[in-house]
């Protein structure tokens, strides 16, 4: 690189978007802009009509997303005084599966007068859960028919995915369904808007739309068995997908002008927020376990071979890094469980720091407690949303700090359980790289991950990890690097905080983990009906 080159990464989160300008030579962010979405998560009322939304709805407004680009990109340019000509590439990442219906030219249906008042015309955010009955039906029929594709998803598909959300439209509002030429991931829609080229990638098709390069979609008669009449499953999804790391095109003239960028800026195909963390933190190795730990946990590994194993979110070719099989797993409640403790139980939102300090003073095993971190169900390896949390070992002497530590330990045990599952199926994991809000804020949590798993935990000290990863894909699209692996090697964070496992602590935690695992199997598997029934009684009686 003779001239200093820059790339922009844009990370579209749940509540806001973040734009980062990355100096590719220094591998250093030089400016950042954060924009909250004015409508944030639409879960109460439809903005166009004021209609009250049903329970479990979560929509978004596509204008909020475009605003992030239109305001955020000029802002980072202005702040950094970097010349637009030096910005060679642009990459984005988005929450997923966030999907919307569009016309054939890529216009979001909900932005058209004709469809604006129909709730099924609006984008459904990843955490829109109203399609749970559809997912239940699809799982039931897949099991009955012994559908092979289920094995790629640990035996179960989620209500958050593409087809439950699409079939919900088909069931609830056939006119909207018919008017939509496409039903598309938001990440691909943004790239379409930027470049004018509809360019969907294989990764979300694989992780969220049950597609695979070898087998395509599940057979049509699987869908019609579940929903007679739903006989063109691929008509809104399309058939041509390109792998992550591809170039989608360059900016449309009109867009380049709005964003104050050059028309020659290369744009990468769309990506997903969790996945771009791997390049963001500099990971490309099969033996490294990446944990994105915030409200919940997303775990990722890449491996040159495919292993089908139960209890994962999915395994997809080119799914996280091109050329590798990407594996995803996760825990459903993490930061939000700690927030529950601090806000709802202790009723002292300022007590995080004090609790972390007091909990850190305790010795491993000293709490006499063990917890199952199922406050929001279990994502992997049980894939059971109706499980609930539990705490064992309470005495008259138990303190707040002890319970807080037990919750942190339950997160660590949950992670170990997932890693055990990978290793039991031959995927060896030698070390952990952690990022996300809790990785930055809780050294105790990081030490516990190391002590319970016996593996070193590395926390790279870089800012805006997802946006940074997205920018690297933009740089690859621009040809600054040959491929994403070269980009990762060239920009790997130099400053890393490492938590080495304490082997004495590990010995104690091995004993507690044996107890944890027995309780996990009993309440999560052999007698899961106990927690299910308890939850159902609660739901039923709350309604009464």
Task: By CB under 8 A, tell whether 334 contacts its own copies.
Answer: no
Q: Which of 143, 151, 253, 534 binds its own copies (CB under 8 A)?
A: 534
Task: By CB under 8 A, tell whether 431 contacts its own copies.
Answer: no
Half-sphere exposure of 298 (CA within 13 A, CB side): 20
In angstroms, the CA 178 to CA 182 distance is 10
Task: By CB under 8 A, tell whether 359 contacts its own copies.
Answer: no
Which of 122/520 has CB closer to its own copies? 520
Contact pattern for its own copies over residues 69 through 108, marking x by CB under 8 A? ----------------------------------------
Task: By CB under 8 A, tell whether 496 contacts its own copies.
Answer: no
Nearest to 43 by CA among 118, 129, 121: 129
User: Among the candidate windows 68-76, 396-404, 414-422, 428-436, which touches its own copies by CB under 8 A?
Assistant: 396-404
Task: By CB under 8 A, tell whether 361 contacts its own copies.
Answer: no
In angstroms, the CA 294 to CA 337 distance is 10
**Which residues on adjacent β-strands are paired with residue 10?**
19, 92
Task: By CB under 8 A, tell whether 294 contacts its own copies.
Answer: no
In angstroms, the CA 206 to CA 342 distance is 38
Task: By CB under 8 A, tell whether 428 contacts its own copies.
Answer: no
Nearest to 370 by CA among 417, 432, 336: 417
In angstroms, the CA 152 to CA 157 distance is 10
What's the first-to-final CA gap in the chain, in angstroms?
Answer: 68
Three-class secondary structure assignment of 350-367:
CCHHHHHHHHHCCCCCCC
Which of 215/527 has CB closer to its own copies? 527
What is the sign, positive or negative, of the torsion defined by CA atoms of 263, 264, 269, 275? Answer: negative
Which of 344/495 has CB closer to its own copies? 344
Task: By CB under 8 A, tell whether 355 contacts its own copies.
Answer: no
Which of 495/542 has CB closer to its own copies? 542
Which of 304/543 has CB closer to its own copies? 543
Task: By CB under 8 A, tell whether 56 contacts its own copies.
Answer: no
Which of 85/345 has CB closer to its own copies? 345
In angstroms, the CA 315 to CA 154 distance is 8
Q: Give the helix ranges, DSSP H, for 263-363.
A: 277-281, 335-339, 352-360
The answer to whether 443 and 457 are in contact (CB under 8 A) is no
Which of 210/337 has CB closer to its own copies? 337
Task: By CB under 8 A, tell whether 264 contacts its own copies.
Answer: no
**Residue 518 exposed, middle or buried by CB count within 10 Å (0-12, 13-18, 19+):** exposed
Q: Which of 388, 452, 453, 491 binds its own copies (CB under 8 A)?
A: 388
Distances (CA, A) of 170 to 138, 204, 208, 243: 14, 21, 18, 29
Q: Which of 393, 443, 454, 456 binds its own copies (CB under 8 A)?
A: 393
The footprint of its own copies on residues 363-382 (CB under 8 A) is: 363-370, 374-376
Instruction: Answer left, alpha or beta for residue 352, where phi above 0 means left and psi between -120 and 50 means alpha.
Output: alpha
Which of 312/406 has CB closer to its own copies? 406
DSSP 101-152: EE-TT--BGGGSTTTTT-GGGSPBPTT--TTHHHHHHHHHHHHHTT-GGGGG
Task: By CB under 8 A, tell whether 43 contacts its own copies.
Answer: no
Task: By CB under 8 A, tell whether 41 contacts its own copies.
Answer: no
Which of 65/513 has CB closer to its own copies? 513
Nearest distance from C-beta of residue 279 to its own copies, angstroms: 32
In angstroms, the CA 284 to CA 488 distance is 7
Which of 54/392 has CB closer to its own copies? 392
Nearest distance from C-beta of residue 281 to its own copies, angstroms: 28
Nearest distance from C-beta of residue 369 to its own copies, angstroms: 7
Task: By CB under 8 A, tell whether 533 contacts its own copies.
Answer: yes
Q: Which of 76, 248, 337, 381 binds its own copies (CB under 8 A)?
A: 337
The footprint of its own copies on residues 187-226 (CB under 8 A) is: none
Task: By CB under 8 A, tell whether 507 contacts its own copies.
Answer: no
How is residue 86 annotated by DSSP? G
In angstroms, the CA 472 to CA 486 distance is 10
Can you tell me whether residue 200 is helix, strand or coil?
A: strand
Nearest distance from C-beta of residue 521 to its own copies, angstroms: 11
User: Among the candidate windows 34-42, 74-82, 456-464, 533-541, which touches its own copies by CB under 8 A?
Assistant: 533-541
Can you tell me whether residue 424 is helix, strand or coil?
A: helix
Task: By CB under 8 A, tell whether 524 contacts its own copies.
Answer: no
Which of 27/391 has CB closer to its own copies? 391
Q: How many residues bind its own copies (CB under 8 A)?
A: 54
User: Within its chain, how far is the Cα of 528 from the centroid?
Assistant: 26
Nearest distance from C-beta of residue 87 to its own copies, angstroms: 41
Binding site for its own copies (CB under 8 A): 333, 336-337, 340, 344-348, 363-370, 374-376, 388-396, 398-400, 403, 508, 511-512, 515, 518-519, 522-523, 527, 530-531, 533-535, 537-542, 544
């Amino acid at each position: 690189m003779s001239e200093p080159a820059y790339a922009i990464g844009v990370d579209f989160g749940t509540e806001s978007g973040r734009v980062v300008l990355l100096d590719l030579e220094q591998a250093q962010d030089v400016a950042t802009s954060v924009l909250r979405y004015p409508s944030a998560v639409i879960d109460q009322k439809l903005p166009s009509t004021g209609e009250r939304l049903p329970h479990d709805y979560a929509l978004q407004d596509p204008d909020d997303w475009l605003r992030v680009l239109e305001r955020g990109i000029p802002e980072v340019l202005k702040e950094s005084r970097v010349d637009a000509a030096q910005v060679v590439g642009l990459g984005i990442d988005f929450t997923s599966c966030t999907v919307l219906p569009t016309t054939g030219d890529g216009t979001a249906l909900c932005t058209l007068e004709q469809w604006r008042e129909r709730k099924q015309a609006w984008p459904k955010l990843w955490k829109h859960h109203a399609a749970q009955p559809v997912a239940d039906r699809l799982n039931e029929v897949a099991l009955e028919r012994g559908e092979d594709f289920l094995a790629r998803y640990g035996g179960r598909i989620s209500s958050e995915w593409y087809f439950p959300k699409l079939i919900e439209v088909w069931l609830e509002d056939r006119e909207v369904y018919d008017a939509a030429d496409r039903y598309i991931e938001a990440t691909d829609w943004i790239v379409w808007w930027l470049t004018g080229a509809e360019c969907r990638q294989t990764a979300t098709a694989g992780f969220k739309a049950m597609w695979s390069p070898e087998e395509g979609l599940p057979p049509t008669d699987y869908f019609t068995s579940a929903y007679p009449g739903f006989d063109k499953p691929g008509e809104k999804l399309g058939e041509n997908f390109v792998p992550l790391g591809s170039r989608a095109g360059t900016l449309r003239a009109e867009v380049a002008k709005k964003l104050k960028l050059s028309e020659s800026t290369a744009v990468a195909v769309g990506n997903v927020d969790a996945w771009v963390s791997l390049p963001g933190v500099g990971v490309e190795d099969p033996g490294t376990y990446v944990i994105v730990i915030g409200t919940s946990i997303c775990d990722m590994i890449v491996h040159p071979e495919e292993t089908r194993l139960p209890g994962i979110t999915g395994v997809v070719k080119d799914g996280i890094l091109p050329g590798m099989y990407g594996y995803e797993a996760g825990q459903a409640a993490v930061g939000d469980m700690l927030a529950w403790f601090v806000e709802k139980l202790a009723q002292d939102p300022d007590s995080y720091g004090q609790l972390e300090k007091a909990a850190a003073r305790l010795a491993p095993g000293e709490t006499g407690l063990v917890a199952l971190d199922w406050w929001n169900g279990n994502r992997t390896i049980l894939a059971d949303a109706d499980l609930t949390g539990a705490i064992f070992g309470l005495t008259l002497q138990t303190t707040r700090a002890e319970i807080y530590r037990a919750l942190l330990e339950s997160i660590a045990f949950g992670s170990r359980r997932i890693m055990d599952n990978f290793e039991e199926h031959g995927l060896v994991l030698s070390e952990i790289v952690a990022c996300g809000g809790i990785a930055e804020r809780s050294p105790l949590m990081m030490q516990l991950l190391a002590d319970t798993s016996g593996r070193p935990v590395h926390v790279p000290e870089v800012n805006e990890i997802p946006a940074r990863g997205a920018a690297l894909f933009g740089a690859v699209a621009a040809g600054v690097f040959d491929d994403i692996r070269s980009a990762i090697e060239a920009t790997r964070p130099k400053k890393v905080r490492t938590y080495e496992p304490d082997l004495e602590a590990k010995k104690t935690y091995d004993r507690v983990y044996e107890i944890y695992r027995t309780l996990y199997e009993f309440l999560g598997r052999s007698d899961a009906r106990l927690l299910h029934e308890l939850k159902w009684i609660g739901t039923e009686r709350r309604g009464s």
